[in-house]
Amino acid sequence: MSPNSLILSRRRLLAGAAATTGLALAAPVVRAQPARHRVVILGGGIGGTTAAKYIALTNPGVSVTLIDRDRTYYTCPRSNDVIVGVHDMRTITFTHDAVMSRYGVTGVFGEIVGVDRDRRQVAMADGTRVPYDRLIVSPGVDLVYDSVWGYSEEVADTVMPHGWHAGRQTELLRDQLKAVPQGGRVIIVAPPNPYRCPPGPYERASMMAEWMQHHNPTGKVLILDPKNAFTKDGPFKAGWERLYGFGTDKAVLEWIPAAEGGLVSAVEPGTMTVEAAGGRIRGDLVNVIPAMRAGRLAGTLGLTNGDGWCPVDQSTFRSDLAEDTHVIGDACIAGAMPKSGYAANSQAKLVAHVIRAELAGEPLPVPTFANACYSLVGESYGVSIASIYEVDPAGEIVNVAGSGGVSPVDDAPNRPVLEAVYQKNWHRTFAADVFS
């Protein structure tokens, strides 16, 4: 029995008792509040921090605890700008302090070792136990290093960074880009689907190509891709043609899809060589973005399926595999929604409304979700995708028919400029919505 049904049945019992004995709602029994519902959130990234804030805002009587290893969070959005020096690390650095102080969220910082489901407690490495009635798990993604032979966490931390968890990895890529010799080659190994931030590899390649034009004009950026298509590829390629000579012999940026030998099976860190289906190639900077799966914590807690992702009821984000547990963000399987920070933020808000409805004994909310993403093809050239989602009768999250889509490819000269302006504004309002 879930704690909610326990609370509800207790309320019904009280109401029934009052009715049968003919008493008005006067007795101290009725005035006594049920114990505060305790929501514990595992993971203080974009999904988890949004959940903490919006669950507290939407459910004033609920106790909200946020647990993460770190007090500081670096957003992946705009980390590509940091790699090319448009901004420094401060732009993408946030803490949980404002969400804790403004909305009464309790922060617990340390390593989570597991969950005791019988006692409803989260076990911390220091021996602390955090009791819960409901868990929200937002563990992000884990990188599957061995999806590329020869790649490992150690290689990523030294010679071939992934840059897919922002922070130290972002700084490594930034420093290695500066060290590429004149006329050198950057190789970006793009990941297979599904993965965090579908346009990320292509935005990164674009930003690096622009950096090359300014600082290393004979250098090149090469994307090796296990896929034949990617999100926003129409407007991206149009931008590449306009800015980087894409498709000509003077191209600063090249994209090799799977059909042309782009699938990378192995890397050789000692010689900075990449083994692609189309042949071996050496890079001066090799950025390997390997396959992904749900964050390690999801696996530890038994929330993942055979593919490494978390199945959930897409109307409530309740885990299919564990009671009293919701999984949100990149780790969960959310129908048509991409693995993006915006999507995680939107899912967290729905869960806040699910909790309110369940505690009040009201019908579950009708789900609505949003995702919008501006990517930079150059510092002043943006492209976007936007979608609104609903849940179809089969329980699957789908795009609302007739809405959404990517930037049109047309001759409007101001469109890409405006989209780049919106990208910067979006990051500010988005980060404020999550962290303040």
Partner 1 sequence: MQTRVFPLVLAAALAVASPAVWTPAGAADGDRRPTPDLIAQNCATCHGMDGRVFTEAMPALAGMDPEDFVAAMRAFRDDRRPGTIMDRIAKAFTEDDVAALAAHYAALPADPLPQEAHR
| Residues found near partner 1 in the complex (CB under 8 A) | 54, 90-91, 93-94, 97-98, 102, 342, 345-346, 349-350, 352-353, 363, 365-370, 372, 374, 382, 384, 386-388, 390, 400, 402-405, 407, 415, 418-419, 421-422, 425-426, 428-433, 435-436
Beta carbon nearer to partner 1, 179 or 401: 401
Beta carbon nearer to partner 1, 27 or 432: 432
Distances (CA, A) of 370 to 14, 25, 135, 399: 40, 43, 23, 9
Beta carbon nearer to partner 1, 9 or 403: 403
Residue 402: CB minimum distance to partner 1, A: 5
Residue 358: CB minimum distance to partner 1, A: 15
Beta carbon nearer to partner 1, 107 or 404: 404
Residue 102: CB minimum distance to partner 1, A: 8
User: 182: how many CB neighbours lie within 10 A of its CB?
Assistant: 9
Residue 366: CB minimum distance to partner 1, A: 5
Give the span between the Cα atoms of 135 and 133, in whole angstroms: 7
Secondary structure (3-state) at 34: coil
Strand spans (E) along 75-178: 93-95, 106-109, 112-116, 121-124, 129-131, 134-137, 141-144
For the beta sheet containing 325-327, the strands, ordered from the edge strand earlier in sequence to the opposite edge, are 106-109, 63-68, 38-42, 134-137, 325-327
What tokens appear for 146 in the block?
Answer: 């061995």
Beta carbon nearer to partner 1, 132 or 389: 389
Residue 179 has what DSSP assignment?
Answer: T
Give the span between the Cα atoms of 167 and 96, in whole angstroms: 16
Residue 71: CB minimum distance to partner 1, A: 14
Residue 127: CB minimum distance to partner 1, A: 32
Beta carbon nearer to partner 1, 290 or 367: 367
* Longest CA span, the chain: 89
Beta carbon nearer to partner 1, 219 or 341: 341
Which residues pair with residue 72 across a beta bridge?
Answer: 95
Residue 353: CB minimum distance to partner 1, A: 5
Residue 138: CB minimum distance to partner 1, A: 16
Query: Phi and psi of 372, rounded to 5°?
Result: -140, 145
Beta carbon nearer to partner 1, 266 or 364: 364
Beta carbon nearer to partner 1, 283 or 416: 416
Residue that the structure tokens 């203080």 belong to: 44
Residue 405: CB minimum distance to partner 1, A: 5
For residue 334, give the nearest of 311, 305, 302, 304 by alpha carbon.
Answer: 311
**H-state helical runs in 279-413:** 296-300, 341-360
Asked whether the beta carbons of 164 and 263 are under 8 A apart, the reply is no
Query: Phi and psi of 330, rounded to 5°?
Result: -55, -30
What tokens appear for 358 in the block?
Answer: 């369940």
Residue 184 has what DSSP assignment?
Answer: -
